[in-house]
Amino acid sequence: MGAKIKLQRKGTKSKPFYRVVVQDESSPRGGRVIEVIGQYDPLKDPSVFNVDQERTKYWLSQGAEPTDKVRILLGKAGLLPAVDLAALTKKKSKAQIKAEAEAKPAEG
């Protein structure tokens, strides 16, 4: 059983804030939380991201996997290497995939 570090939405309609939680992978989205390690408020300017660095490092050392959004936030906080956002969000079109597949045999 692995653990995930993820955001748990709280707040009211159109006024969200999030808790940074450690949760078992098999738990449902709003299910039982192992530990709350921080909070994230995207509505404030600038956005607020507070996390307990010692507990986060502990859970990462125990094999907890952060979700993509949490990985980005932890990268900005300096707890993980910075994430290349273009690599996460940019998807290749079918034509690009086909062109890469055709180019590989020609190179080899």
- Give the model confidence (pLDDT) of 34-86 as tens digits: 999 999 999 998 889 999 999 999 999 999 999 988 999 998 888 888 877 66
Residue extents of the structural domains in the chain: 3-81
Give the number of other Cβ atoms within 10 Å of residue 64's Cβ: 22
> What per-residue confidence (pLDDT) applies to 1?
61
**What's the whole-model pTM score?**
0.73
Element (H, E) at 54: helix 53-61
Protein fold of 3-81: S16 Ribosomal Protein; Chain: A; (3.30.1320)
Reduce the DSSP state of residue 12 to 3 states and report it. Answer: strand
